[in-house]
Amino acid sequence: MIRMYQGKLIKYYRTRKGMTQKDLASGICSVSYLSKIENETIEPSSDVLELLSERLNISLDSQEESVETRQRILDWYTFIKDKDFEKASEEYDYLKDVCLASGSQEIKNLFFIFEFGYLNVFQSNNKKLTFHYQQLEDMMDLFNNESLYYFYKFKSMYQYNKNDLLGALKSLQNAEEIYPNLDQYDLSLYYNLSVFYRRTYQLYKSLIYAEKSLQDAQNAIDYEMITNSQILISVNHIGVGEYQLAEKDLLKLKKQKKYLKPHTIATIFHNLGYIYYQWNHLEKAIEHLMIAVDNYKKNEDKVDSIYLLCLVYYTKKDISQLRKSLSSGQSLSEAINSQKFVFKFYILENKLNKTTLDEGFIMKMEKEIIPFFTNSGEHNEIMRHLKLLGDIYYEKRQYKKASEYYKQIHHFYTNTFRLEDY
């Protein structure tokens, strides 16, 4: 029996080499016979397969897929998820040689997909990343369910890094459709779906998937994912204004501090800091946010807590500390190339300098900032900035223009949403 995907491989490489079916079939078999091979509706002889592969200069070796190599690729995924660069890069160097020399096209495909994930995590600014992604898009017909599943997961990460939240969510939804057909658990799927539903302000769905993530983590007895899922549930409670419930759960987790990783500790303290900011317990908020900043190792994580710290100082009217934190946040935003936070700190700086009524600020809001957040799909950010523009025009007594922006807010407004600066 023809091995699955051999026909697709023949078609893929024939197309890449710019050959017609007639070119490839000439002297080997009829065009109609080749067409059936490519569509995998017949079982060709080994002689025909060998001649076709020689003409295409590829290997269609039908040896069984290496179980050991496949498992090592999946183990590599653990290092990638954990952002353990030392171990992930060590495995990358090993697997690159092993997989490229493999006679199994499925192994090569799986490695190529995980290489894409590796580059996404550790070399997101690498120029070859986009080319790598485009190649994978062209190869999708060759992927089995397992390869396709991981491709969609890494594609989601790629789109997230491009600030395309709606695209990232769609890719995860595609992965979710394939997931029941796999013979393995991936505890990060429902967790990531919950995160993206929350970021696109679909809080009801986010809470459902956070609960699913928690249930799967409990079944797998994965304490780290249990904690992360519990935090995510609390974040969703914060999103609908259930601050007391969120605080209660986060304080329970805080008691387990000595068993938790620094990043997890930081996330707990960050969210408690946000709750205390909302309650106007400003000193308590500052205390918790400073601990969050100290425990976060990556600048991409620190910048969020620094921004919230700026809001606390702004509310407290501590201009000296605000300017220090603002300068730190602006530097970090530029260093990590986060356009989102570049814009957020820009707005805060103009509020501090009382220049939000200036035409230059208004034009930047309308021409750059609003379109940026609209394209990202981050609805809470869109509403927040639409409200700011509405308030600006209202203050300038341009009531018709203000009304237009308030109407746009109503378009996005669902459930209960607090329109704070954060």
Residue 21 to residue 10: CA distance in whole angstroms: 10
Residue 385 to residue 403: CA distance in whole angstroms: 14
Which CATH superfamily includes the segment(s) 69-184?
Tetratricopeptide repeat domain (1.25.40.10)
Q: What are the pLDDT digits (tens) for 364-406?
A: 999 999 999 988 888 888 889 999 999 999 999 999 999 999 9
pLDDT band of residue 6 (cuts 50, 70, 90) is confident
pLDDT band of residue 196 (cuts 50, 70, 90) is very high
> In the chain, what percentage of residues exceed pLDDT 70?
94
Q: What are the pLDDT digits (tens) for 317-352?
A: 999 999 999 999 999 999 998 999 999 999 999 999
pLDDT band of residue 61 (cuts 50, 70, 90) is low
pLDDT band of residue 221 (cuts 50, 70, 90) is very high
pLDDT band of residue 275 (cuts 50, 70, 90) is very high
Q: What mean pLDDT is predicted for residues 160-183?
A: 92
Query: DSSP secondary-structure letter at 4?
Result: T
Residue 272 confidence (pLDDT) above 90: yes
Phi, psi of 126 (to 5 degrees): -65, 130
Q: What is the pLDDT of residue 162?
A: 87
Task: State both tokens at 419.
Answer: 């329109």
- Is 225:210 a contact under the CB 8 Å cutoff? no
Q: What is the pLDDT of residue 207?
A: 96
Residue 416 to residue 367: CA distance in whole angstroms: 29
Phi, psi of 43 (to 5 degrees): -110, 95
Q: What mean pLDDT is predicted for residues 128-155?
A: 91
Task: Say whether 387 sits in a helix, a strand or coil.
Answer: helix
pLDDT band of residue 417 (cuts 50, 70, 90) is very low
Which architecture characterizes domain 6-56 according to CATH? Orthogonal Bundle (1.10)
Q: What is the pLDDT of residue 189?
A: 96
Report the chain's mean pLDDT, rounded to a whole number.
89
How is 328-379 classified by DSSP, letter by letter?
A: HHHHHHHHTT-HHHHHHHHHHHHHHTT-TTSHHHHHHIIIIIHHHHHHHT-H
User: How far are the Cα atoms of 116, 128, 153, 189, 207 from residue 81, in angstroms, in the given order?
Assistant: 13, 21, 11, 12, 22
- Helical pair 299-316 and 262-278, crossing angle rounded to 10 deg: 20
